[in-house]
Structures are given as C-alpha cells and as structure tokens.
Amino acid sequence: MTQVLYYYITLLCSLRQLFQVLPVQVNLVLSFLASGYLVPTGLALATLVYWFEGATATERAAHQRLVLRGLLAALIAWEAAMLAGLAWRRGLNNPEWAQVISELACWQGPPLPSFAAAVGFALGTTLWRRDWRWGLGYCLATGLWAIAQVCYGLCYPADVIVGTVIGAGLAWLLGYADWLDRYLDGVIRFVRGLILA
Amino acid sequence: MPDVASLWLLVIGYAALTFVAALAAFQVIALRNDLEGLAWAVGPRHKLPGYIVAGLLMAIAFLGGLLLTLQSGGLPALLSLAALLVGSLLALPVSLCGAALRLWWNRRHRLAIPHRGKLVELGPLGATFYRPVGGDAPCPALCLLPDPTTPDDDLSVLIQALVKEEIAVLAFDWGRLERADRLTLQGLVAVGVSHLERWPEVDAGRVGLIGVGLGGDLALRGAAMDPEVVAVLAIEPVLSAQRPAMGIESLRALSWFEAQRRARTWRYSTLSAELDALAAIPCVAPRSVAVIIGCVGDSSELDNFEILRVAESCSLVPTTHSEAMGRAAAWLKEHLT
C-alpha cells in the first residue's frame, strides 16, 4: 500500500517545480486554464450548441439522446471520483500513515481523482461514439484543462489518469446500455413539449 | 480564504459572465439552425452581423473570466457549477423574450404589401378577393382559410405566390367571427366556394381550397363535403388531436410564446377532433389533395394523397417561407388547370 501511495504521489511530481520557474505570464495562463471557468464554460456551451444541432428532427433527437447520455455518464463519473477520493481519505486517516506521508517529497494533500478529467472525458467519450470530431474536441479541451491543473499543482498526474479511466470507462460502458434510450426519449418528449427539443 | 460576502460577489460575477457567454451561444445556435424564435439580437437572415455580436460577447465573457480569475484565484468546483447553471438558465428566458420582442418589432415595422384586394362581405364573415393582374380569361380560384385559432397570421407571401401563378384568391378573415364552431366554419366555407363560383372572372369548374393549420383541416373537411372543389391543399394541418408536440422546429417561424400558444390551442381545441381531417381525406382522394407538412405528425397514418415536404429541413412550415409557398402555389396551379 505504501508503494502504491508512493508511486501515485511521486509520479511526474516534479512538473509543478518545473512550471514554477517559467515566466509569470505562463503561470497566469496556466492558472486561468486550470480554473473552473474557461474549459467548463466552453464545454457547457458546446453541449448546448450540440443539443440544438441537426438538420432534421430525427437527427436532432439523436444528438439530444447523446447529450443526455453524456450528462448522465458525467454525473455518475463525478460521483465515482468523489467516492474514490473519500476512500483514499478514509484510508489515510490513520496516525500510522502520518509518518509515511511526512516522508513523501511531493505531498500536496490526499489523492482525489480529477473531477475535471472524469466529467470531461465522460462527455467526450460519449460523443466520440457517434461523432468523433465533437468527441475529440471535448477530449482535447478536457486534456488541456487537466494538464493545466497538474502543472499548476492542483492535483497529481495520477489523479488525472484515474479520473480519465473512471470517466471514459463509465461512458463507454453506458454506451452499451440501449435500454436507457426509452427513458431518455421520455425526457426529450417532455422538453419537446416545452418547444426546446 | 475569502469571506462569505466576497464569495457571493464572486459567484455573482462568474454567473454574470456565464450569462453573457450563454447569450452568445444562443445567438450562435439560432444562426446555425435558422431559429428566428431564439435569435435575440440578429435574425438568421443576417448571419455575419449575428456571428460578430456573438463573438464579441464571447470575448467579453472569457476576458472578464480571465480578469476575475487572476484577481480572485477562481471558485471551488461546486460553486463554479452553480454559477454556470444560474448564468445559462437565466440566458435562456432572456434569449426567448429578446427574440419575441425582435419578431414583434419586425412585424410592426414590416413594409405592408400594397393592398390590391377587394373587400367582400359573406354574412358574418369578412373576406378579401385578390385577382391576378392582367389576363381577361376566367381564372382558377381558391378560398384561403387561415387558422381560426390564430386569425392574425401573416399570409401575404402565400397570397402573392398564388396571385403570381394567376390564381384568384378569396382570403377569409376569421377575426370578425364571434363563434367559430365546426358547423359555422363549414357553412362559411361552402358560402365562400359558391360565392367564388358565381364570380364573373372565375372559372366555376376550377375552384379549390387552401388552408393553414386548423384552416387546413377545415379545407380538407370542406372539400370532402363539397364535390365542386377540384383541388385542396392543407399547409401544416393539425390532422389529429394526438399530434406530437411541435418542438424546436416551430421556433423557425414563431417566437417561443407564439409557438406555446399555438401548441396549447391546437391541443385543447375540439375543432381538430370534430373536423377529423384524416377521415375526410379518403372522401376527397379521387380529386387532387396535398398536404405540406414538416416532420411532426405520424406520416405512416397518411395515405391517398401527396405530401409536399419543404426542402432541406423539417420544420413547422411558416407561411412566410417564400420557397414553400411558391411550391404550394405551383402545385395548385398544376392541379387547378
């Protein structure tokens, strides 16, 4: 377990020190990229645009089903990442670990799978299954966001990897759940009644 | 760690910036999908200025976000999400209201098409007779039936297209009608048809019906009852009381409020069930029947008649859509001669 924690924490942990010596402007851009504004707002607006896309009602309904599936995957991924983080915290909330942690050079707090990676890759992977261009755009934007968070010292690189696995894996699995379409169509019909789908 | 007041201010700041970004996104969506009812700043007919406005707003939102992030260091994830949701959710009603105001303003200031029609009194009903310019020979003629539930619809593009095809038009005006039940409406349609047949410039053997919305259902039912009607065309008829919700397509022609009102009226109007246009179609079928529809409606139920779909899209067909109205006029010209 100590070894696992050691590798989790120290894997590429010198990145933060590397980026700290860069010019202040680069760090400003990094902080903006890493913040919860630029990329999440961009992704949310792109999702909004995708919701209304489609030359015909059938095509648009397919997009809307995909958006709902992606949002569901993102929500589940968020929960899963949070639960994994809680498990780490509970596991490390022990006096025996205090000694081990004090010896770790790169300690920045307990590990917590990256929410950014989990949510962004869940959405990106869902869209990729139907429209790889949109999926690629989402994945690139999420990747940029997660890398900026690592470089800015907000999370460990392994956090991003675990978040990516959780998000992408869940979305991929959810892609096989065809039975979901029935319920998603119900939501779309409701929103269509509001003349917004 | 900022105190609660400054945290609130920060959330409001981010929500305001997200609001601006979402307004820009709705403008882009309206332009990409030709949604008049969502284009709050510039209509889909002026794409470049619309994209410029959206781009400027997006730049303001993201530069503002940069400044705020640099000044405050950003928000915790959950608060960011809350600001994002509040901003986007506020932008939606603002976009819909803005678009409704823009459409209302445009309608008010639209140049009126020169009125060349002759006012006609048909009992309790007012109507306007438009005859084609030139040509002394008797011409085919149509009774144009607007939707009785929305009598203020602008049908000038359709009238122009019909007159251009050398078809005389008797456009009904339901506005003065106090009671619009099925029997009254059907009786007035019959009066209109017989009035046209007696008109000296009209060829009595080439009289047809055209209707919009519930007026389309009325036209189909009217044609079923009157064997003198040679051809009938229904534009976006309701056809069934179980018609699916109109959806985003209706925003191509109407504001959200108009679309909601129309959907509600159609849903709760007993007229469509009473007229039962689907059952009327087989009675008209030996004569020429066509329906212009979008994708809504269960087309598998429809048989025995021609369906004219509007090219490239699947929308609630607006009567201001000159291409669709041109096709309607051309079809009528072909089947009335």
A23-76, pLDDT tens digit by residue? 888 888 888 899 889 999 999 999 999 999 987 778 899 999 999 999 999 999
pLDDT at B148: 87
Tell me the residues of chain B between 183 and 212 that have a Cβ less than 8 Å away from chain A: none
Q: Mark out the alpha helices in chain A (DSSP H runs).
A: 2-10, 15-20, 24-34, 38-52, 57-92, 95-102, 115-128, 132-151, 157-174, 180-193
User: Which residue from B175, B164, B106, B166 is spatially nearest to B141, judged by alpha carbons?
Assistant: B166
Is residue B168 a contact partner of residue B140, using CB atoms and an 8 Å limit? yes
Structure tokens at B336: 């009335």
The terminus-to-terminus CA distance of chain A in angstroms comes to: 50
> Are the beta carbons of A196 and B248 separated by less than 8 Å?
yes
Of A52-61, B90-99, B141-150, the least confident: A52-61
Partners of residue B246 in chain A, C-beta under 8 Å: 192, 195
DSSP string for B56-110: HHHHHHHHHHHHHHHHH----HHHHHHHHHHHHHHHHHHHHHHHHHHHHHHHHHS
Q: Which of A49, A58, A196 lies closest to B28 in CB terms?
A: A49
Structure tokens at B84: 């994002």
pLDDT at A114: 94
| Residue range A100-123: mean pLDDT, rounded | 86
Determine the 3-state secondary structure of B309 from DSSP.
strand
User: Which residue from B320, B281, B321 is spatially nearest to B297, judged by alpha carbons?
Assistant: B281
pLDDT at B244: 64
Q: Are strands B168-173 and B125-130 parallel, antiparallel or unpaired?
A: antiparallel
Q: Which residue has the higher pLDDT, B66 or B243?
A: B66
Of A121-135, B109-123, B207-221, B259-273, the least confident: B109-123
Separation of alpha carbons A4 and A12, rounded Å: 14
Is residue B144 a contact partner of residue B173, using CB atoms and an 8 Å limit? no
Distance from CA of A52 to the nearest CA of B (A): 7
> Are the beta carbons of B74 and A40 separated by less than 8 Å?
no
Q: At what angle do helices B322-336 and B156-164 cross, to 10 degrees?
A: 40
Is residue B171 a contact partner of residue B159, using CB atoms and an 8 Å limit? yes
- Mean pLDDT of the residues in chain A: 89
> Are the beta carbons of A41 and B260 separated by less than 8 Å?
no
Is residue B21 a contact partner of residue B87, using CB atoms and an 8 Å limit? yes
Give the number of other Cβ atoms within 10 Å of residue B48's Cβ.
9
Q: Which of A32, A58, A115 lies closest to B77 in CB terms?
A: A115
Structure tokens at B281: 């179609």
pLDDT at B297: 41
| Residue range B217-243: mean pLDDT, rounded | 87
Residue written as token pair 């680069």: A26
| Residue range B42-49: mean pLDDT, rounded | 93
> Are the beta carbons of B69 and A45 separated by less than 8 Å?
no
Is residue B186 a contact partner of residue B211, using CB atoms and an 8 Å limit? no
Is residue A35 a contact partner of residue B74, using CB atoms and an 8 Å limit? yes
DSSP string for A101-131: HHT-TT--SS----HHHHHHHHHHHHHHTT-
Q: pLDDT, tens digit, for every residue of B4-36? A: 888 899 999 999 999 999 999 999 999 999 899
Is residue B108 a contact partner of residue B152, using CB atoms and an 8 Å limit? no
Tell me, yes or no, if B78 comes closer than 8 A to chain A by beta carbon: no
Whether the per-residue pLDDT at B125 is higher than 60: the answer is yes
pLDDT band at B305 (very low <50, low <70, confident <90, very high): low
Structure tokens at B327: 């096709």
